A = this chain, B = another copy of it.
Amino acid sequence: MMKDLSTYKNFYLDQLLGDTLPFWFPRSIDHQYGGYLLMRDRDGSLIDDDKAVWIQGRFCWLLATLYNTVEKKEEWLLGAKTGIEFLEKFGFDTDGQMFFHLTRDGKPIRKRRYFFSETFAVIGYAAYAKASGDAQIADKARQLFGKCIEYAEQPGLLTPKFTDVRPAKGIGVPMILINTAQQLRDTIGDPRCDTYIMKWIEEIERDFVKDDLRCVMEQVAPDGSIIDHIDGRTHLPGHAIEAAWFILNQAQHLDNDERLIALGTKIIDYIWERAWDTDYGGIYYFRDVFGKPVQEYYHDMKFWWPHNELIIAALLAYLLTSNEKYAKIHEQVHNYAYGHFHDKEYGEWFGYLHRDGTLAQTAKGNLFKGPFHLPRQEWFCWWMIDRFEKNKLLSQEV
């Protein structure tokens, strides 16, 4: 058994409340325009007062989730509320689609051809609706989830980036939607969630997981075949790892469903074999399934978030299987990540290391990084171990 389960539990909660959250809260609340000011340098100074819509939704989700699960702190609830109000006022275009990038006072800078802003709004709205009991926001969360399903099932609704000569689909859509549905289900509930979660898991298993290659693809043709071109071959370990723990989470929800445990742990195995850098440590950002060069220049950099996701995935795999292999992976990634990404001086994590583990830049928040993957990891790992210990105690009492 993992030696220090309760040490880890305390560590994660302490880090979350004593190191990660204080970097962002309360200073990021924008008292003038609402929402959050999150694009910050190492020491917390503001790099940019623009607002990335993804991260507005994500921070709202975090504060409401802490309120729902850690402590009923009024300041967290109020903090979540300002995010909801800002998104309600400024997040949506007249066609109902959400923007991607806003000015501090909510003017739209950019709308993208994806619906990830929507998925992060769903989890923010749902968590806040539970925290506040606001039925209107709960309705809105469910409506927005319905919109996400539409976008996913009718790809033509959003302007395509490519022609239809070489159709492709990404794992990002079913992956993120599993988590969106799980969050919705676990907060305010929605009858569509469980059916859709299983549908998206099946899609990932059928079309993206390649047992013959021991790999999980980032994009494939609509029939699941590999597109043997530079983009089609590029896979993103971080997305596959997220899919793995969302699937393991579903396995736990279904009374430790063995088939889903096998699927989730298999994905971890494949990614571990392909994406752990055995020379320098850390998870590579992009890889080519056949070992060829990839187009993205930062392919071998170490980004913070795949490490957060693997810390969760390996811990959950260990709790579900008691297989020491996953305890070892968890420990190895935990030690690498807290050793290399954590900023001991100002708190929180750096986001971007060179392949060899040296720091590439100091931003703690930008258009894509903010208070999400790291605090979610610390929160979820704390919560998961806590639940595991309580269940064990319960079964011992029985």
Contacts and interface: CB of A to CB of B under 8 A. Distances in A.
A288 to B, nearest CB: 9
B166 A103 contact: yes
Contacts of A111: 163
A355 B357 CA distance: 12
Nearest to A104: B229
Interface residues of A, number: 39
A378 interface: no
A230 B166 contact: no
Contacts of A48: 229-230
A300 interface: yes
A110 B361 contact: no
Interface stretch (A61-69, A115-123, A180-188, A291-299): A291-299
Interface string A328-362: 00000000000000000000000010111000111
Q: Which 3 interchain pairs have the tightest Cβ spacing?
A: A293-B363, A297-B298, A107-B165
Interface of A: 39, 41, 47-48, 50, 103, 107-111, 161-163, 165-166, 229-230, 292-295, 297-301, 303, 352, 354-356, 360-363, 366-368
26 contacts: A41-B293, A47-B230, A47-B292, A48-B230, A50-B230, A103-B165, A103-B166, A107-B163, A109-B165, A110-B162, A111-B163, A230-B366, A230-B367, A293-B361, A293-B366, A294-B361, A295-B366, A295-B367, A295-B368, A297-B301, A297-B361, A298-B301, A299-B361, A300-B361, A354-B354, A354-B356
